[in-house]
Copies of this chain bind each other. A is one copy, B any other.
């Protein structure tokens, strides 16, 4: 009896968890195609889930948006970049992938702006704050490794440089979304290679 109840509970937990994952995938597709919906209700309408069902799986619009972004990032990072890849290259590749999914760049911009209004969006603020901290730490480590191998000038502060690289990439993607024919994210990011080279300078005297 007791065991049957536990199995039943596990089954229903698995089912709920599958359903939640299903809703998330549909929301990712929706955001990628059409951008971020205004309300939880509008999102539900668009992906064919009742508002009540959506509320059962996600307590708020914030929770859904954060989970969509988190899931997208997890899928993206299934193959992590090798340690030898430079900070600029990591950020360039991520920006390159985002080119094909402008809706998710929009979602990212929405999350960061919501995060600024922290009292109304405490969950989003925590997520965005943690994400920036982790990303800065990760890129600073790649910059330190470049300094150890002599490709990056030793007097550059790795934390400042990490914040700068992330900022440049975020800001350029935003300008690109507003002016896709004028702003070239990759080309502008490549300028940062002069500041944080990913390989030692070619030997002098070569031509």
Contact = CB atoms under 8 A, between A and B. Distances in A.
Which residue, A129, A163, A191, has most C-beta atoms of chain B within 10 A?
A: A163
A32 interface: no
Nearest to A102: B116
Interface in A153-184: 153, 156-157, 159-161, 163-164, 166-172, 174-175, 177-179, 182-184
A178 B128 contact: yes
Contact of A167 (B117, B120, B170): B170
B175 A167 contact: yes
Interface stretch (A18-26, A53-61, A106-114, A199-207): A106-114
Contact of A160 (B106, B125, B132, B184): B184
Interface string A121-153: 000010011001100100000000000000001
B164 A191 contact: yes
29 contacts: A36-B117, A106-B116, A109-B113, A109-B116, A110-B116, A112-B113, A112-B174, A113-B113, A116-B178, A129-B179, A132-B178, A132-B179, A133-B179, A136-B175, A136-B182, A156-B191, A161-B191, A163-B172, A163-B175, A164-B188, A164-B191, A164-B192, A166-B171, A167-B168, A167-B171, A168-B168, A170-B171, A171-B171, A194-B195
Interface of A: 35-36, 38, 105-106, 109-110, 112-113, 115-117, 120, 125, 128-129, 132-133, 136, 153, 156-157, 159-161, 163-164, 166-172, 174-175, 177-179, 182-184, 187-189, 191-192, 194-195
